[in-house]
Amino acid sequence: MDEAVFSEWALKILLTGLVIFLGFIVWDLGKKSKAGKFGMFVLFLVLGLGVFGFIFKNILIEFFVLQK
């Protein structure tokens, strides 16, 4: 396994772990602050939009930059 393959796998695995950990942090924050259902929805919506933006950025980079 060369360095590029290892980096690609590590990025996918560790970023997935980080997003799951951030989800736990947001859930704990909402629970401790007694945010309620709507507050938890907003917290997870913002986290989800951030993750979606990161994934969408990577898709755009691969589609536009690496196609050339």
Give the predicted TM-score (pTM) of the model: 0.72
Q: Report the C-alpha gap between 49 and 6 in whole angstroms.
A: 28
Domain coordinates in residue numbering, the chain = 3-65
Q: Report the C-alpha gap between 48 and 53 in whole angstroms.
A: 8
Q: Walk along the chain (68 residues) and give the pLDDT tens digit of each residue.
A: 889 899 989 988 999 999 999 999 999 999 999 989 999 999 999 999 998 998 899 888 888 887 76
